[in-house]
Structures are given as C-alpha cells and as structure tokens.
Amino acid sequence: MAAALPLSARPSRRFAASDALLGWALLAPIVAVMLSLVFIPLGVTLVDSLYRVDPMRAGQPFIGLRHYVDLLTDATVRTGWANTFALVVICVVLETVGGIAAALLLDRIRTGRMWLLAAVIVPWALPPVVNAIVWLWIYNPSYGLLNNILQAMGLIGERVVWFNDRTTALFLVAIVHVWRMLPLTAIIVLAALQSVPEELYEAARLDGAGPLRSFTTITLPLIAGALGIAMTQSTVFAFNLFDEAWILAGASLDTRTVLIQVYMSAFQQLHFSYGMALSVLLMLASLAVSLFYVLRVYRETRID
C-alpha cells in the first residue's frame, strides 16, 4: 500500500507537467506576438529616446534625458498636451455616459435588437478616416449640414466657421471621435448588463427602490468591471486621437494633439528620437490616467 502511493502520484505529476507544457504552448504565440510587436519596439523606443537619432545629422550620440527636458519647455508640445487632456476628458465622459445610456436602451429592446445592434456599430466599424471625412462635410462652413440645420432652426444668422474658435474646434473633434467609439462602450456595457440577474431588480422593487436607486445600487456595481474596461479603451483611444483632428483641422495648433506632434516631429521634421521621447511620455500618461480611474471605479462600485 505504501508502495502504491507514489505509483498513483506519478501519473498525476506527469499530467500536471503536460498540462503546464500545453499551457505554455498555447501562450507561446501571444507571447511571441507581444514581444515582437509591443515589448521589443517599446524597449527600442525607450533606448533610442536617450540618443539623438536624426537622419539629417551624422552619428547618434547619447544625450540622456535632454529630449525629455526640451519637451517640458516646448510651448507647442505644451499646447498639444492641453488639447489632448481636454479631448480625453470630453471623449471619456461622453463615451461613458452615452455608452451606458445606449446600452440601457438596447437592453430594454426585445424585438429587432440584432438589427439595431448592427446599426449602432456601423460608426465603429467604419475606418476613422472615412468617419472624419463625413464629419468634415457636415462641419463645412459653406455647404455643411450643421450650418444648414442651425440656420433652418433660426439659431444662427450667418454661417459659422466652426474651427475658428479653439473651444468649439476641440469639442467638434471630440464629437467625431465619440461618434466612432461610443458603440464599443455600448456593446461592452450591454454584455455586462445582460449578465445581471433579473431577480435582483425584482427584489429591489419589492423593497421600494426606484429606477435610479436600482441603477446605482445594482446595475452600476455589477457592470463596474466592464465599465472599467470600456473606460480604459476610451482613455487609450482618446490619448491616441490622430485621424479625426488631422483630417478636420490639419496641423492647426487649436486641435493639435500630442500624437500629431509626434508625427510632425518624427516624420515631417525628421527629429526621430524627439518624437520617440514624446511618444513614451504619451504612453505613460495614457497608462497612468487609465490605471487611476479604473482602480477608482472598481473600488467604489464593487460588491464584496
């Protein structure tokens, strides 16, 4: 009997070892992809940002943190940061609020939801450039739909050149981005809503809870995880906003985001490592903000 124990243990260890091997084998492709497409380029970018990499100048001397110091004093970059943060705030708020509202509505619809869902995700499925060009026509001061509608409603007299005002321009760029990204938030939240047990709402109703109280005490805590994911993707995409701002207003300082500045520094002015340093800062800012409020949302809305 004493000798039988190790015998029975041996196959289970073997199975465990083969399970582990299988696990690693399944992980290998994604590890390889992440290493080659994310972590190695990220490492190279980090290292190169400490050198002067500029094809117009001979050599690539080590310059330490000089680019990072220069970036702090660069007025154009500071404007880019201000624009980016403004866009992040507008986009994340509108996408989250709008996404939850759209998901709640979709959740209530029983017939034809499939078709409605298909229609909702169209803006998200379209290439961002196409979206931006459509909105460029809408905002056009000469023949744009927005001016036509507002004039027809008697809200404006003269046609407005929307992008001549910085605040309006930023808001309009954000609207185009929200239009594209809101469906994704809605779909993520809708998936979470459908997993909330109906009995909880019935119990709350019996206890006299109204719709608002049910939403804050049942819905919100139970979709917190999904909401965290949705807000993270909203934040990351808003930090990386490029196409909409570039197509609607080009290099205009009023709507120039940090990512546009990265493009201009690296690919128009050929200051590659300067652009790399700025992209590293952008990545850090995006990570920090995402982490901050995702943790906060999770902590405040979780049910232990």
User: What's the rounded Cα separation, in Å, for the pair 70 and 72?
Assistant: 5
With CA atoms as reference, report the closest residue to 244 among 185, 165, 176, 171: 176
When asked if residue 68 is in the footprint of another protein (CB under 8 A), the reply is no
Q: Which of 253, 284, 288, 295 binds another protein (CB under 8 A)?
A: 253
Q: Which of 57, 205, 296, 302 binds another protein (CB under 8 A)?
A: 57
With CA atoms as reference, report the closest residue to 65 among 54, 82, 49: 49
SS3 track for 121-163: CHHHHCCHHHHHHHHHHHHCCCCCHHHHHHHHCCCCCCCCCHH
Cβ atoms within 10 Å of 244's Cβ, excluding its own: 27
- Give the dihedral sign, CA 160/163/166/167: positive
Q: Which of 5, 25, 56, 114 binds another protein (CB under 8 A)?
A: 56
Q: How far is the CB of 269 from another protein (least distance, A)?
A: 4
255 in Cβ contact with 170 (< 8 Å) = yes
Q: How far is the CB of 139 from another protein (least distance, A)?
A: 9
Phi and psi (nearest 5°) for 51? Answer: -115, 165
160: tokens are 């407005």
With CA atoms as reference, report the closest residue to 174 among 267, 85, 303: 85
Nearer of residues 6 and 61 to another protein, judged by Cβ: 61
Binding span for another protein by CB under 8 A among 90-98, 118-126, 207-215, 260-268: 260-268
Q: Which of 6, 29, 55, 157 binds another protein (CB under 8 A)?
A: 55
Alpha carbon 294 to chain centroid distance? 13
Q: How far is the CB of 140 from another protein (least distance, A)?
A: 8
When asked if residue 251 is in the footprint of another protein (CB under 8 A), the reply is yes
Q: How far is the CB of 271 from another protein (least distance, A)?
A: 8
Residues 183-202 interacting with another protein (rule: CB under 8 A): none
User: What's the rounded Cα separation, in Å, for the pair 86 and 239?
Assistant: 10
Q: Which of 107, 209, 254, 298 binds another protein (CB under 8 A)?
A: 254
Binding span for another protein by CB under 8 A among 83-91, 177-185, 223-231, 264-272: 264-272
When asked if residue 249 is in the footprint of another protein (CB under 8 A), the reply is yes
Residues 267-296 interacting with another protein (rule: CB under 8 A): 267-272
Residues 129-148 interacting with another protein (rule: CB under 8 A): 141-142
Q: Applying CB under 8 A, what is the total number of residues that bind another protein?
A: 24
| Site of interaction with another protein (CB under 8 A) | 55-57, 76, 141-142, 161, 163-166, 249-254, 264, 267-272
